[in-house]
Amino acid sequence: MAFIDWVLHPTELWAAFWYVMRHAPPDEKTMQLQVSGDMKRCYDFLEMTSRSFAAVIQELNPKLRDGICLFYLVLRGLDTIEDDMTIPGAKKRNLLETFHEAIYQEGWTFKESGPDEKDALLLVEFDVVIREFLRLPIEYQEVIADITRRMGAGMAKYTRTRVESLDSYNEYCHYVAGLVGHGLSRLFAKSGLEDPAVGENLELANSMGLFLQKTNITRDINEDVLDGRCFWPKAIWGDYAATEDELISKTNREKGVDALNVMCVNALHHIPDVLEYLSQITEPSVFKFCAIPQTMAIATIVLCYDNPRVLDDN
């Protein structure tokens, strides 16, 4: 009931988030002092690449903490390659499609990222991540490698294919985020902290990922169009603009905001699944890990809805 109250009063979501983050148990707050060597460097990379996820990952139950940290870093490495517009298409597709093999190759690194790639250092020192990945329980390794393989194949597909239809939009979001929900749910179940059913009902897990990804895609339209790409489906924006540039143009502002609102509503369709998924999570640290990003995404969508600044600012 409390979570539904937050949904109905979205302005309270940020206060809830900061309360949770500031009231973590002391032994979890000092977790980083209890690791050293390669794993310490992995947590350094976690904080470098996503301070928000670093906060929630570090508060996870120790049975999951390192595994999910490494899962995140493996996928962040994959995502860094996908985002790098300086890597030639054929080479990028090969890297994406074989990344699940690279994580088993001790000493593998990648030093050819573009000069503006903010997470390039992770790939330069990726051998550190690999060493710790290979120390994980085999059942964790298998989940991470399987998700990496499937995600890499999907990313490679969309280096050649544009997001046009609503089906392709959902498929792209599944590859880059729904599969993360699959992997996390399977890890939760493998750890024994959650019921095996959590790792089996993957439709709900997919929606968890899709809601977060669609929120990011909706919010980032200005930056993406200026970078020469667009993940809004043409099936939506094509009703309001002739080109992607026109979509964010001030001369087309009213129609651009109408398209923005359709994107927000599309994302919000996943909320019932999000609530159902959260209702089956029983371990407190896992619940916080799942709920905090979702509440932040709800707050973000609320800020985006009918807000022309989304079209103007990165």
Q: Which residues are catalytic?
A: 172, 219, 229, 289
In angstroms, the Cα distances linking 184 to 54, 128, 174, 205, 305 are 15, 22, 14, 8, 29
Give the integer Cα–Cα distance in Å for 168 and 182: 19
Q: How many residues does the chain have?
A: 314
Exposed e or buried b per residue across 254-263, where buried means at least 16 C-beta atoms within 10 angstroms of its C-beta: ebbbbbbebb
Residue 223 Rama label (left phi>0; alpha psi -120 to 50; beta): alpha
